[in-house]
Structure 1
Amino acid sequence: MASIEVAKKESTPPPWMRRFFTLWAGQAFSLLGSALVQWALMFWVAVTTASPLDLAIAGAMGLLPQVFLSPFAGAYVDRHDRKKVMLFADLLTALGTLILMLLFVAQAIALWHIFIVMFFRSAMQAFHWPAMQASTALMVPKDHLARITGLNQSVMGLTSIMGPALGAFLYVALPMYLVLGMDVVTAAMAITALLVVRIPEIRKPKGREKTPILRDLVEAFRYVQAWKGALLVVAVFSVVNFLITPAFTFFNLLTLYHFGQGPYQAAFMDVMLGAGMITGGLILGMWGGSKRKIVTCIGALASSGGGVLLIGVLPPDGFLIAATTALFIGTGLSIVNGIVMAILQKGIRADMQGRVFALLSSLSSGMAPLGLALSGPFAAVFGIQAWFIAGGLIMVVVSASLFFVPVVLNIEDHIAEAVAIEQ
């Protein structure tokens, strides 16, 4: 009997795992709905306008709020209940999608409506993302963070596969307003999970005066500045985002007008990219990376740059090679994102994670809207492939140079200070 009781005890998942994966499951369904709707909206813009500039504007609308709002949103997250922040962000995102549904039903939709809703959804994500990342670091033991981030990358890859695949199928089979309705349904699932899960909070000293938000942001910047190598890594990822975001935004146009394919093939490109993200996440989840995880990260980033370059030089009959290369790129970027997130979650003090994550996100993604703004006119003059060629070359050179920068190679030596947590 004693041995049976011990076996049952060992097979029972620990409390943190039950709480976290309940929350995680709800967010996974929400990600799927968002990916489906995002693909459908971007494809609608591509088919309706056939304009690289309009696609670039749509992409920028999805990024600008996160660049400018994220630092303030992160400071807000550190001051308030992170669970409530995520609840309101999910609710308001669903409301924005519902308004867009009604416009399609009334046949009153215009391109600028799409831009506004994309802008609003991005603004809500600026609050939701730092709250979720900071909550993950509080719910998951540090020894499991690298594997959890690898799992998260796999889920993102799975949604990248299922989102475009379902998006393409539903785009052809259903009216657009019903396609958008999937986002409302999955948001409701995420909200339900949030309502039933207890998320730990930082124990805040009683009687402490609230400081101005700008002072919180200055404190966050000084914290990152004191972490040698962190700002340089952020600068590198700013360059990568400048290059890779327009490339992914142009996937639909590249498939339709360079490779001469249709909507299912366009979705297949995104599916292969997502399959790569799953593969990379599984590799990281099982392996965990090299002893110096940043070395694995740099190598994966350089390899992804080589894949971007290859897509740029392919002839019009090279669609299958491009799709296979998208799988390779997704694998590399998934490993990169997972490792960087794990390093940050381990190295940032728990009571500052909201504002620091948001600040780093704003700094690293801030170049993406500029890339989109420049890539549209650039592609109109030189062609979409030229952006892939230039971007791939720069990614390879910048990534390889990091192997010779000691402060980057030693970034994992930083240890975060402990703070009191309310379970």
Structure 2
Amino acid sequence: MNKYAKILKLRVFIIVCFGQLISLIGSGLTGFALDLWIYQKTGSVTQFALVALFTTLPPILVSPIAGAFVDRWDKRWTMILSDCSAGLATLFIAVLFFTGRVQVWQICVGISVISVCGLFQSLAAAATTSLLIPKKHLGRVSGILQIGESSAGLFIPGLAGILVLTIHIQGVLLIDFASFLFSVLSLLIVRFPKPKTATTTISKNQLGKGSLKTEIIYGWTYITSHPGFLGLLVYFAIINFLVGIVSIMLIPMLLNFVSSATTGSVMSIASLGTFIGSLVMAAWGGPKRLVSGILGFGLLLGICIVLAGLRPYIPIITAAAFFGFFCFPLIGGCSNALLQSKVALDLQGRVFAVQGMITNSSLPLAYLVAGPLADNVFEPLLASGGPLSGNIGIIIGVGAGRGIALLIIVLGILLIMSTIYSYLYTDIRLLENSTE
């Protein structure tokens, strides 16, 4: 590839990424503003959790179909149409607020559409990254992309709160709609280079080409025919399940012994960890053995989770949260770089779709079991006079919130055990030695 072609590809990548970042900020503002409105309007944790469920479940259900379509369609137009559809869904919610007819179920419908559009957009964007960026730089680029996401997460809550007070939720929704238009414009002014399809060296059967049904199934077939990939995705599903419960439990645990202001400070410092981790991934690019990076930072994450529940001592919890969140972009960056470098471009839509379906399918279950586990199982164990108050309670404390802390410790230990087992599983450990 000549120098001019490389510069042109980089220019296209930067323009597209900037447009997507603006859209991400708009969507983040809307998501936080809607969360505030629903909880303040209903006072119901169940309805609050329902919105989270409708955000995560629809993409999981349509992932295999989405992956097949993304592999068939032009990537740029897939992103354009996805952003247009998500923008219209956002405008639909805005109209409901302007007319005063909004209900929670309508928001759930709108969010479902937006989340499915986001799935199509992210799958096309992942494949586009592989098209525009050389393999040796995929790790760094993954880190750079996560810098944008994590930096946006640092200021979105505060900015959304200010905007809701000044221009109300209707104004926030219009800003989000404008951000989608900006993203679409950035895609319209560029042209993607024509991909070199793998059909020159790989048969259509190997690529799962054929009917739509065949292509949908092939994403799963490809994963199951590579035990290392399948094992790694199961490991990610376990991480998501365990961390999903921890993410719900951390704030209630903190609020039992510190103020909401202190809790907010802890979470802000944790978010800073994600930002720093993204910077490190962008500068470093990850280790030469990407699987070692995934499992190494997975082990550190498990240790941090255990430390977070060990004692009701804010400095330790804050440090554990910071380094735990620091691990997320490094695990994600190594994972994305590994898949993008090992999977043929023609297959990436389907493979990333199956990856998302497997790894995210555990999140709804985590949301469903977290509350009952804490309230009905672990909290009574470490209540004053509870069954474990005289032994484990001596170490980690007794009273409100310490049962949640015990649950967090157990989840951290399970993550450590899962990481060790994954390392001992030869197909995962030697995944990078396999051919595509």
TM-score norm. by structure 1 comes to: 0.86
Measure the CA separation in 1 of the matches of 2:230 and 2:420: 18
Q: Give the CA deviation at 1:248.
A: 2.8
Say which of 294, 298, 301 aligns to 1:301: 298
Measure the CA separation in 1 of the matches of 2:50 and 2:308: 23
Contact 2:16/2:183 (<8 A) preserved: yes
1:157-204 per-position Cα deviation (integer Å, ceiling 9, x unaligned): 111112223223323444122222231122122111111121234467
Q: Give the CA deviation at 1:330.
A: 1.6
Q: Which moved more, 1:82-91 or 1:333-342?
A: 82-91
Equivalent residue number for residue 353 of structure 1? 348
Equivalent residue number for residue 413 of structure 2? 393
Q: How many pairs does the alignment contain?
A: 402
Contact 1:36/1:162 (<8 A) preserved: no
Map 1:4-153 → 2, pairs under 5 A: 14-153=7-146
Q: Which has the higher contact order (CA 8 A, sep 6+)?
A: 1
| 1:13/1:80 CA distance change after superposition, 3 Å | closer
Tell me whether 1:156 sits opposite 2:149 in the alignment.
Answer: yes
Contact 1:161/1:272 (<8 A) preserved: no
Counterpart amino acid of residue 18 in structure 1: R
Q: Which moved more, 1:279-288 or 1:105-114?
A: 105-114
Say which of 187, 194, 213 aligns to 1:194: 187
| 1:120/1:11 CA distance change after superposition, 3 Å | closer
Measure the CA separation in 2 of the matches of 1:268 and 1:167: 17
Map 1:345-384 → 2, pairs under 5 A: 345-381=340-376, 382=378
Measure the CA separation in 1 of the matches of 2:18 and 2:300: 31
Measure the CA separation in 2 of the matches of 1:379 and 1:43: 24
Measure the CA separation in 2 of the matches of 1:363 and 1:139: 27
Q: Which moved more, 1:323-332 or 1:355-364?
A: 323-332
Contact 1:53/1:376 (<8 A) preserved: no
Counterpart amino acid of residue 375 in structure 1: A
Structure 2 unpaired stretches of 5+: 380-403
Contact 2:307/2:316 (<8 A) preserved: no
Aligned residue for 1:197, secondary structure, equals coil
Aligned residue for 1:14, secondary structure, equals helix
Tell me whether 1:278 sits opposite 2:269 in the alignment.
Answer: no
Structure 1 unpaired stretches of 5+: 1-8, 417-423
Measure the CA separation in 2 of the matches of 1:126 and 1:12: 29
Q: Give the CA deviation at 1:335.
A: 0.2
| 1:137/1:197 CA distance change after superposition, 3 Å | same
Measure the CA separation in 2 of the matches of 1:116 and 1:256: 32
Measure the CA separation in 2 of the matches of 1:114 and 1:271: 28
Say which of 312, 326, 344 aligns to 1:331: 326
Counterpart amino acid of residue 37 in structure 2: W
Aligned residue for 2:260, secondary structure, equals coil
Say which of 423, 429, 434 aligns to 1:409: 429
Counterpart amino acid of residue 117 in structure 2: M
Identity %: 26
Measure the CA separation in 2 of the matches of 1:119 and 1:254: 30
Q: Which moved more, 1:33-42 or 1:47-56?
A: 47-56
Say which of 293, 296, 308 aligns to 1:311: 308
Contact 1:61/1:115 (<8 A) preserved: yes
Q: Give the CA deviation at 1:268.
A: 4.6
Q: Give the CA deviation at 1:138.
A: 0.6
Measure the CA separation in 1 of the matches of 2:110 and 2:305: 30
Equivalent residue number for residue 420 of structure 1? none
Say which of 316, 321, 339 aligns to 1:344: 339
Q: Give the CA deviation at 1:46.
A: 3.9
Measure the CA separation in 2 of the matches of 1:166 and 1:320: 27
Counterpart amino acid of residue 303 in structure 2: G
Contact 1:160/1:271 (<8 A) preserved: no
Measure the CA separation in 1 of the matches of 2:121 and 2:421: 34
Q: Give the CA deviation at 1:249.
A: 4.5
Counterpart amino acid of residue 275 in structure 1: L
Tell me whether 1:166 sits opposite 2:186 in the alignment.
Answer: no
Aligned residue for 2:153, secondary structure, equals helix
Measure the CA separation in 1 of the matches of 2:82 and 2:253: 34
1:246-304 per-position Cα deviation (integer Å, ceiling 9, x unaligned): 43355665566664315xx6665554333222211221222222231211221111222
